[in-house]
């Protein structure tokens, strides 16, 4: 029997993509690894997943069937080096310190602090707030800052007046990025895009990066673009990186933020958290585990290999069922301690482990802390699921304090 929180999560997944809950639930039968005709190998075991993530001799992120292949068609073949070649190691080394907890906590306080205090005060004053919209704005603000794009750079790219209404600007940014992400629909069997999708994706990416050359000149050294400039990375490569960062860190994080507020309420564990605020880090980890917004991660097999007793052949695809693996542990529980088996598989693993992981922790923590700072539980007064989106999330989640 599913809990209310689990049922609503499954409804949310189905609104995004009707077949998704079925795939992710049935995926459990693939444990540890099972071949599905026309789709490839499904992996539903944490140890096998980690083995694949750590094996860059036999598995690739840039060949057909994996994310890097999708990106190469949109941004150019040079991203293969950024994802897998020496450029990948250089990139991670270059920006590593921008993604430490000290840096991301400071970023969140500086960029989102006032907004989050405003949220707390509005709720405390009895207002109803749409968390779905607020999360989209917060994420737009933080990713732009991290990349080194100022509001004027964003408005040059996607239109609108940056001096007038910043919330509206960052909402438009969210929708722009979401449209780009949604072009990944239909990539289950193959990551080769049709010409129409390639043209649209290129147009959206190019528009997003229209002001990167200017931002590249001015960006502070502790931003991604500033760091690229100091290292002498070509501006067009810096532009590609800015787009990648925006795409990787927008929908996933906005989804996790909104679903966190919903699940805390639906499981009634917001009340428990109010009396045990020291469990906030556990609540955040648990939210990432049960939501696993990057629900499936692809790899392609580049050389024959035997994994968990199965023979995988070069050219085949692998799909790591992140959501399925993480949810096999059980339902959301703020009193659950760290699970060594899954570790943080919601962020992938190996050399491609999510670069934004600490930023995610900082933002989810800051949002949750601003809610519990009101000292009262909240109720959901309106809930609508977003339809036909690659990363399922809420359209609306209006809450007020009780």
Instruction: List contacts with ligand HEM (CB under 6 A).
Output: 61, 67, 83, 92, 143, 146, 245, 248-249, 252-253, 256, 293-294, 297, 346-348, 352, 354-356, 359-360
Q: Tell me how far, at minimum, the Cβ of 301 lies from ligand HEM, in Å.
A: 15
Contact between 111 and 103 under an 8 Å Cβ cutoff? The reply is: no
Q: Tell me how far, at minimum, the Cβ of 147 lies from ligand HEM, in Å.
A: 8
DSSP per residue over 346-397, as a string? GG--GGG--TTHHHHHHHHHHHHHHHHTT-S-EEEEEEEEPPS-SS--EEEE
Q: Tell me how far, at minimum, the Cβ of 252 lies from ligand HEM, in Å.
A: 4
Residue nearest to ligand HEM (CB): 356
Residue (211 or 252) nearer to ligand HEM, CB:
252
User: Angle formed by the axes of helices 151-158 and 195-208, to 10°?
Assistant: 140
Residue (251 or 401) nearer to ligand HEM, CB:
251
Q: Tell me how far, at minimum, the Cβ of 356 lies from ligand HEM, in Å.
A: 2
Which is it for the CA torsion 145, 146, 152, 154, positive or negative? Answer: negative
Residue (30 or 67) nearer to ligand HEM, CB:
67
Contact between 357 and 344 under an 8 Å Cβ cutoff? The reply is: yes
Residue (78 or 374) nearer to ligand HEM, CB:
78
E-assigned strand segments in 214-328: 297-301, 305-307, 310-312, 317-320
| Tokens, residue 198 | 């390639």
Q: Tell me how far, at minimum, the Cβ of 20 lies from ligand HEM, in Å.
A: 15
Identify the three-state secondary structure at position 154. helix
Residue (28 or 350) nearer to ligand HEM, CB:
350
Q: Tell me how far, at minimum, the Cβ of 82 lies from ligand HEM, in Å.
A: 8
Residue (30 or 290) nearer to ligand HEM, CB:
290
Residue 43, φ and ψ in degrees, nearest 5: -110, 125
Question: Which residues pair with residue 398 across a beta bridge?
Answer: 130, 382
């Amino acid at each position: 029997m599913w809990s209310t929180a689990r049922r609503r999560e499954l409804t949310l997944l189905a609104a995004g993509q009707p077949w998704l809950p079925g795939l992710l639930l049935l995926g459990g039968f693939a444990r540890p690894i099972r071949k599905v005709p026309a789709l490839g190998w499904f992996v539903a075991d944490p140890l096998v997943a980690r083995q694949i993530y750590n094996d860059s001799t036999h598995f690739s992120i840039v060949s057909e069937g994996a994310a890097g292949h999708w990106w190469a068609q949109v941004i150019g073949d040079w991203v293969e080096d950024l994802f897998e070649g020496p450029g990948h190691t250089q990139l991670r080394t270059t920006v590593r310190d921008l993604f430490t907890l000290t840096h991301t906590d400071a970023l969140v306080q500086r960029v989102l602090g006032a907004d989050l205090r405003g949220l707390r005060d509005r709720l405390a004053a009895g207002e109803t707030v749409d968390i779905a919209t607020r999360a989209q704005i917060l994420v737009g603000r933080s990713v732009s800052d991290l990349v080194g794009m100022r509001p004027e750079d964003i408005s040059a790219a996607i239109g609108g007046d940056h001096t007038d209404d910043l919330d509206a600007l960052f909402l438009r940014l969210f929708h722009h990025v979401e449209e780009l992400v949604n072009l990944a629909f239909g990539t289950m069997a193959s990551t080769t895009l049709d010409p129409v999708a390639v043209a649209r994706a290129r147009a959206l990416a190019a528009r997003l990066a229209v002001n990167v050359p200017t931002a590249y000149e001015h960006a502070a050294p502790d931003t991604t673009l500033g760091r690229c400039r100091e290292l002498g990375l070509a501006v067009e490569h810096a532009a590609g990186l800015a787009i990648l960062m925006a795409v990787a860190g927008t929908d996933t994080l906005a989804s996790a933020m909104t679903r966190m507020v919903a699940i805390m309420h639906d499981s009634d564990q917001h009340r428990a958290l109010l009396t045990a605020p020291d469990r906030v880090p556990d609540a955040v980890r648990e939210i990432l585990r049960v939501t696993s917004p990057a629900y499936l991660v692809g790899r392609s097999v580049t050389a024959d290999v035997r994994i968990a007793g199965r023979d995988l052949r070069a050219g085949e695809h692998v799909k790591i069922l992140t959501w399925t693996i993480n949810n096999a542990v059980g339902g959301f529980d703020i009193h659950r301690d760290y699970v060594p088996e899954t570790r943080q598989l919601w962020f992938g693993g190996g050399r491609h482990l999510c670069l934004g992981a600490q930023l995610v922790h900082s933002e989810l923590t800051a949002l949750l802390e601003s809610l519990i700072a009101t000292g009262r539980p909240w109720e959901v007064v309106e809930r609508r699921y977003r339809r036909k989106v690659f990363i399922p999330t809420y359209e609306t989640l209006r809450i007020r304090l009780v």
